[in-house]
Structure 1
Amino acid sequence: MKLCKKKLVLATAVVLQQWAMTPATAQQTTQQLAALNRPLDEITVTATRGVDSDLNRVAATVSVITAEELEQQNAKDIKDALRYEPGVEVRRSVYRVGGVTGASATMGRGGNEGINIRGLEGNRVMLLEDGVALPRAFSQGTLSAGRGAYTDTDLYQRIEILRGPASSMYGSDGLTGVVNFVTKDPQDLLNVFGKSSYFALRPSYDSSDSSYGATGTMAFGNDHVQGMLVLNARHGNETETNGSVGGTGAARTKADPLTYNNRSALGKLVFKIDPRNVFKLSFETVENKLRGDSLSAVAAPTITGYQSASDVKSNKLQLQYEHDDTDNPVFQKLRANLYYRDSKTSQYSFENGAAPTRPRFRDISYQDDIFGGGVLAESGFNTGIIKHKLTYGVDLSVAKLQMAASGTGWTTCTGTQYCEYFPKTEYSVFGAYLQDDMRIGALSIVPGLRYDSYKIKPEASAKYDAQAIANRQPASTSKDSAFSPRLAFIYEVAPAFAPYIQYARGFRSPSPHEVNSYFNNASQGYSQIANPNLKPETSNSYEIGFRGKLPTSAGLFSYSTAAYAGEYRNFIDSVSVAGAGTVLNPTIFQYVNAAKASIHGFEGRLDWRMERGLSLKTGFAYTKGTTTDRTGKKTGLESVAPLSVVAGVRYEPTQVWFVQSDVIYNASKKKEDIATPTNFVSPSFFVMDLSSGYRFSKNAVLYAGIRNLFDRKYWNWTDIRGLSLADSATNKDAYTEPGRSFNVSMKFEY
């Protein structure tokens, strides 16, 4: 149940005042409380482009998670934040790394690697923070740079999730959805008590990884100038598995020991020139450090120890201009954005053991710096009986991407070494878009079109060239362009029934390392070569659905359901293009447009907000996907999660306290839906969570919860897929999700 902060404070004040009231006054106050407890019409505030605040008139599935909900869930990261969003998964493998080469070298290093929507993930889902794209995912050798490490849920006012293709408004990466993380704003905080200052401290603890942290927030301001500072720190250990076997070696099922330290800060200044014009200047820094001891990798005397470390840093400076003027005949809304962000992931591995190959180390880093900006405008006007709402704008960005590697035996960057897996590259993107929401009574027709062009331009690199040119694989420039059209129809028969249908085309441009990547390990029988002829990935997607809101004597019902299908072409993957895997005839790998995919599914949501503080929320998502390689072989798309159902019931008789129970059900993954049927697949599971909150006063509130109440042992398919783990493996418990865990936080605000 979403209530504005003002009503929350009023409700709390009403309860406190009752203690000192006469019976007549108390009866009047009780009536005020009853009015507050009536189901309120939901108002969604969203910064997602082209999405109306009235979700009945949107041809897509949109959900918003507010800062209040994040606090009530004690969500310490994006995996916690999206736990109850069916069809939206956050991939996080168990941290169980081992060896400086091979698949296990990156196991869990990506942390919260990214967000999966409708079966696709990584760089195929657009992830934004205040409209700025998060750094791209990258994995090679012992390095795995995920995208979730650049986020911090304590900095966000809300998280907006748009399911479905979004390239017509956002460009590359918007194949199956957009997630926009919107940071807190001084006005949000000053509105809590309606004062010129605001201070808050929120300590928290989570037993799943024995982590503790604290968030400090302050804001100040008046009608013209406002400021804000948010500081957050968290220290924790390994996320527990449900395994019980300790010791060393592959048989270990307890989590390998590790420690992590996360730090973040967000500062923001707001200058309100007048009621129509606002400037916002913000600075954000995030740093996540991790140190691990891989006891599961020990195999004496060959390997007697394996330690690893990871350091993720990101700094962002952003200037925003907002203009709102409903009386302006040309445009009523204007947003301008200028930003710079630098980000770097560094990962170190040290392996001790028997000579001559050990001890050895690898030190690899990946850097993604970007400078860019954009302008968005909205214009409303009428042509006869047609009401138009134009959304249009341009985006421009220039990124610098590079990686570096060093390690035992890597001194000359030739032969079997790859000091640079790809050269330092300038990646520039330009996009222009236009969408017209045309309304004729109950009918909305929404055509949209975006044009994107990109250029991947490598810079001269002595280290990369020492490898690539000698093997006739010099770095190449790659450029291309794409049009992404969209057409949607919505007809609001009544508020209780609004069907829609839409078509959208999406695309994803290749990454610099996919175009220009080279290393030569012929002594081990393989090498990687570049491909300057890569084409963008494309998709054609269709969606049909309906939604509605129905006030009844039993409360307010709101629901939505959708069926979708997408055809994806030119999927980019690294495949074997030649060779036999021998020293004299090594296998040659290359990124090519190797496959196509087909995805279809159903999803639905139902919210029932009843009288007297009782509410019910439920949702489901079912997706099926197949992929076809260049030989015509068709297999199940492993990145597609099985059927997911989430349901929650909440009792909140007053705004002083609440109790909530959520259940999650995931069906089992089928053998025929994976590439290697002999691999282990996760069985179905059912878990229940409890959460509660109690407001002691307007200045103090306590939130506590229990996850996996019945201590179930289960595996999440999104986290374990791709493992070479047989059904008969005795160490399967090493990859389980945490058992029963507790979380608690206390917020003091003034």
Structure 2
Amino acid sequence: MALCKKKLALATAVVLQQWSMAPVMAQQAQQSTPQLLAQSRPLEEITVTSTRGVGTDLNRVAATVSVITSEEIEQQNAKDIKDALRYEPGVEVRRSVYRVGGVTGASATMGRGGNEGISIRGLDGNRVMLLEDGVALPRSFSQGTLFAGRGAYTDTDLYQRIEILRGPASSMYGSDGLTGVVNFVTKDPQDLLNVFGKSSYFAVRPSYDSSDSSYGTTGTMAFGNDVVQGMLVLNARHGNETETNGSVGGAGATRTKADSLTYNNRSALGKVVFKIDPRNVVKLSFETVDNRLRGDSLSAITTVISGYQSNSNVKSNKLQAIFEHDDADNRLIQKLRANVYYRDSKTQQYSYESGTTVGATVRPRFRDISYQDDIFGGGVLGESSFVTGAIKHKMTYGVDASTATMKMNANGTGWTTCTGTQYCEYFPKTEYSVLGAYYQYDMRVGPVSVVPGLRYDSYKLKPQASAKYDAQAIANNQPASTSKDSAWSPRLAFVYEVAPAFAPYVQYARGFRAPSPQEVNSYFNNASQGYSQIANPNLKPETSNSYEIGFRGKLPTSAGMFNYSAAAYTGEYRNFIDSLTISGGGTVLNPTIYQYVNAAKASIHGVEGRLDWRMENGLSLKTGFAYTKGTTTSNAGVKTGLESVAPLSIVTGVRYEPNQVWFVQSDMIYNAAKKKDDIATKTNFVSPSFFVVDLRSGYRFNKNLSFNAGIRNLFDRKYWSWTDIRGLSLADSATNKDAYTEPGRSFNVSMKYEY
């Protein structure tokens, strides 16, 4: 820490010295030194997630793909994944306002999940595959006062790029790829050493964001030669509550200002790369994330609750070893990738409620609940290419295997025997094993590509003996059960590249999601209060059948380069898993029984498009839109709108960058209103339409020093994000709706010194 402070002090001194010489440096920068040009020159995008077995030419990919680079993340001053994906229409990060209160009820988990996860084409949670360097992020889990979100395990300052694939991906990646994949690719020593073309690289980047009064610093160093390279990235950020656009303070449910909280996030990434020879590379990496939060819920105070405090601690450590073999001259296998990894992760959340004892509700009381998801796994991927006559062949094949250990534990006031209403373990410790094998064949005949693919997965959920869980479950004839099944995930795509300017495609893909341990073996007996939760060992995997047709192209013209894409899609989803009432009347003698069942099917369809126009005069235009409609049909035949579907989204960015020294950009976001017909409870509040304008700019004083600043919500609009407020049961008549608004006008700044 002392070393970091010395580096920060040194960087600050350098910033002040350089600032005084800004006019001279700006003139020098205008001359565009070779190093500066090298940093600003756009690089070829390598989309690993979207092109597993297809290549890097996006005109040959039968899917909608986008990549967000580290340069864009820094220019946006994105402090987390919600900021980083702000300008991706149809890709939403759900983050409820942190407004927790009570140890039971809907408010018990309100906002605890932080950046809960990512929604693509109307589905979210564990139905979207989230990867980091190809390793699956922990699954989300919610129970009682605990909500373990998936975004808490990420840190944008560690990433070289974020790759987004829209559409089913189970044919190559297995379970959870029902509707899309997001792969967070961490930085690599070579990426940093290439900046100046030297054998070492150092950088420090302090930043500030007024939306949550947060400040942070990222320190980066890399070294190496042609044989060995190393890298270390350290990041720390401290902040407070994210402001709403509400104005009412005080205590109680009428409060619309954000409840008070503080957070401290720490992360580190280390890598060592050994280049054995020009064809073989070994990479070893270690990553750790530690995010801590403490909140004081003023909005939870009532006549009987005098105070409510909550803590959250998220920790994750990952070790990974990767072997890469590339030999274009080999006639059998040109590419081989093998990796082995281990990751442990734990979310622990503590709540303390003070006040007056009323009936059986004793105060003060506390709840201390944790969720752990550790995984060990690996995989091998190979690629073989050859030509026979006029036909080009490319085969991609591989295997993946992993074993995850998942468990939860609960402790609280009055919980001493772990029986009855005391769910010390909502599900037993479980080993979740998955084995998958895949094959994809890309056959190209001139401009036509035919791409069939098939993956086979088998999974097994094996609960371990648990005195805490068994004390309840066995006594009530609900012993934990082993669950296993398998799934085939086929895919077939056709691409016809008429010309680089026009390449239509069509594809069919099947996806699936295996049930999780808490869905198969969840048991909680609270019959004295009129309800219970029971297990279901007969759960089937969720499945999808999706069809997509689209086209894309790139067209150089005298007015600049056009890149565009458009797609229309439809999908049928079966055996959705949900916790529903299966019997009972809600009384002590006839308690309501809840159970996870394959409760519904869903139908989702929509259109999306993107345009990137880069003109020769330094002006560029990026725009995109996403429109999705979805419905669910219960086993009883009742059809309702799919509430996880976000309304129409349109994003447009206009950028002016006349040289390599400075740029200015305006981004405009439009979201249509959510319709009452698309939600189950028509009296609930739905988000109205909104239009938000952001501004950002950057300036490079010289090759070593750069500055980025931005203003979000320039006109201080009051608006609600449907993705963030859905599921709140917020009535139309509620007077505290402003408590759930997005932040008003805010600004962010950062300064980066690198050498």
The answer to whether TM tops 0.5 is yes
Match of 2:170 among 152, 167, 174: 167
RMSD of Structure 2 on Structure 1 (CA): 1.8
1:63-82 equivalences under 5 Å are 63-82=66-85
Match of 1:312 in 2: 314
Aligned residues: 728
| Residues 312 and 634 of structure 1, relative CA distance in 2, 3 Å threshold | same
Normalised to the residue count of structure 1, the TM-score between the two structures is 0.95
> What is the distance in 1 between the residues matched to 2:698 and 2:488?
49
The one-letter amino acid of 1:677's match is: K
Match of 2:116 in 1: 113
Contact 2:26 2:661 in 1 (8 A): no
Match of 1:123 in 2: 126
> What is the distance in 2 between the residues matched to 1:320 and 1:35?
32
1:56-455 equivalences under 5 Å are 56-300=59-303, 302-356=304-358, 357-455=362-460
> What is the distance in 2 between the residues matched to 1:34 and 1:555?
23
Contact 1:16 1:697 in 2 (8 A): no
Deviation at 1:43, TM superposition (A): 3.0
Match of 1:519 among 517, 520, 524: 524
Query: Secondary structure of 2:195's match?
Result: coil
Match of 1:592 in 2: 597
Q: Is the aligned partner of 1:732 residue 2:737?
A: yes
Query: Secondary structure of 1:617's match?
Result: strand
> What is the distance in 2 between the residues matched to 1:634 and 1:723?
20
Match of 1:667 in 2: 672
Match of 1:627 among 617, 629, 632: 632
> What is the distance in 2 between the residues matched to 1:137 and 1:723?
18
Deviation at 1:738, TM superposition (A): 0.1
1:530-541 equivalences under 5 Å are 530-541=535-546
1:16-55 equivalences under 5 Å are 43-48=44-49, 49-55=52-58
Match of 1:642 in 2: 647
Query: Secondary structure of 1:192's match?
Result: helix
> What is the distance in 2 between the residues matched to 1:53 and 1:620?
24
> What is the distance in 2 between the residues matched to 1:19 and 1:699?
15
> What is the distance in 1 between the residues matched to 2:387 and 2:312?
56
> What is the distance in 2 between the residues matched to 1:89 and 1:185?
27
> What is the distance in 2 between the residues matched to 1:304 and 1:169?
53
Contact 1:570 1:593 in 2 (8 A): yes
> What is the distance in 1 between the residues matched to 2:565 and 2:91?
16
Query: Secondary structure of 2:104's match?
Result: coil
The one-letter amino acid of 1:376's match is: L
> What is the distance in 2 between the residues matched to 1:41 and 1:555?
15
| Residues 626 and 355 of structure 1, relative CA distance in 2, 3 Å threshold | same
> What is the distance in 2 between the residues matched to 1:678 and 1:473?
38
Write the deviation string for residues 670-705 of structure 1: whole angstroms up to 9, x where unpaired: 000001110000000000000000000100000000
> What is the distance in 2 between the residues matched to 1:20 and 1:350?
59
Deviation at 1:37, TM superposition (A): 13
Deviation at 1:31, TM superposition (A): 13
Match of 2:567 in 1: 562
The one-letter amino acid of 2:268's match is: A
Query: Secondary structure of 1:612's match?
Result: coil
Q: Is the aligned partner of 1:481 residue 2:486?
A: yes
Write the deviation string for residues 513-563 of structure 1: whole angstroms up to 9, x where unpaired: 000000011121110000000000000000000001111111111100000
Contact 2:37 2:660 in 1 (8 A): no
Deviation at 1:50, TM superposition (A): 2.8
Deviation at 1:711, TM superposition (A): 0.2
> What is the distance in 2 between the residues matched to 1:417 and 1:322?
50
Deviation at 1:33, TM superposition (A): 13
Deviation at 1:18, TM superposition (A): 9.8
Deviation at 1:191, TM superposition (A): 0.3
Query: Secondary structure of 2:55's match?
Result: coil
Contact 1:37 1:653 in 2 (8 A): no
- In structure 1, stretches of 5+ residues that fail to align are 1-14
The one-letter amino acid of 2:218's match is: T
The one-letter amino acid of 1:448's match is: G
Normalised to the residue count of structure 2, the TM-score between the two structures is 0.95
Contact 2:53 2:383 in 1 (8 A): no
Write the deviation string for residues 415-448 of structure 1: whole angstroms up to 9, x where unpaired: 1110000000000000000001110000000000
> What is the distance in 1 between the residues matched to 2:416 and 2:32?
77
> What is the distance in 2 between the residues matched to 1:728 and 1:642?
22
> What is the distance in 2 between the residues matched to 1:20 and 1:338?
48
Contact 1:44 1:55 in 2 (8 A): no
Deviation at 1:71, TM superposition (A): 0.2
Contact 1:43 1:54 in 2 (8 A): no
Write the deviation string for residues 264-296 of structure 1: whole angstroms up to 9, x where unpaired: 000000000001100000000001000000000
> What is the distance in 1 between the residues matched to 2:485 and 2:754?
52
Deviation at 1:35, TM superposition (A): 11
Contact 1:171 1:507 in 2 (8 A): yes
> What is the distance in 1 between the residues matched to 2:120 and 2:233?
30
The one-letter amino acid of 1:312's match is: V
Query: Secondary structure of 1:473's match?
Result: coil
> What is the distance in 2 between the residues matched to 1:460 and 1:159?
40
> What is the distance in 2 between the residues matched to 1:19 and 1:107?
52
> What is the distance in 1 between the residues matched to 2:314 and 2:202?
29
Match of 1:690 in 2: 695
> What is the distance in 1 between the residues matched to 2:33 and 2:276?
42
1:714-729 equivalences under 5 Å are 714-729=719-734
Answer with 518-527 or 43-52: which moved more.
43-52
| Residues 101 and 209 of structure 1, relative CA distance in 2, 3 Å threshold | same
Deviation at 1:42, TM superposition (A): 7.5
> What is the distance in 2 between the residues matched to 1:20 and 1:173?
52
> What is the distance in 1 between the residues matched to 2:37 and 2:710?
28
> What is the distance in 2 between the residues matched to 1:32 and 1:286?
37
Match of 2:513 among 491, 499, 508: 508
Match of 2:475 among 461, 466, 470: 470
> What is the distance in 2 between the residues matched to 1:549 and 1:388?
24
Write the deviation string for residues 83-127 of structure 1: whole angstroms up to 9, x where unpaired: 000000000000000100011000000000000000000100000
Contact 1:507 1:537 in 2 (8 A): yes
Runs of 4+ in 1 over 6 A off after TM superposition: 15-18, 29-38
Write the deviation string for residues 468-518 of structure 1: whole angstroms up to 9, x where unpaired: 000000000000000000000000011111000000000000000000000
Contact 2:132 2:183 in 1 (8 A): yes
> What is the distance in 2 between the residues matched to 1:46 and 1:610?
24
The one-letter amino acid of 2:317's match is: N
Deviation at 1:385, TM superposition (A): 2.0
Deviation at 1:52, TM superposition (A): 2.2
| Residues 404 and 34 of structure 1, relative CA distance in 2, 3 Å threshold | closer
Contact 1:131 1:180 in 2 (8 A): yes
Contact 1:37 1:613 in 2 (8 A): no
Q: Is the aligned partner of 1:546 residue 2:546?
A: no
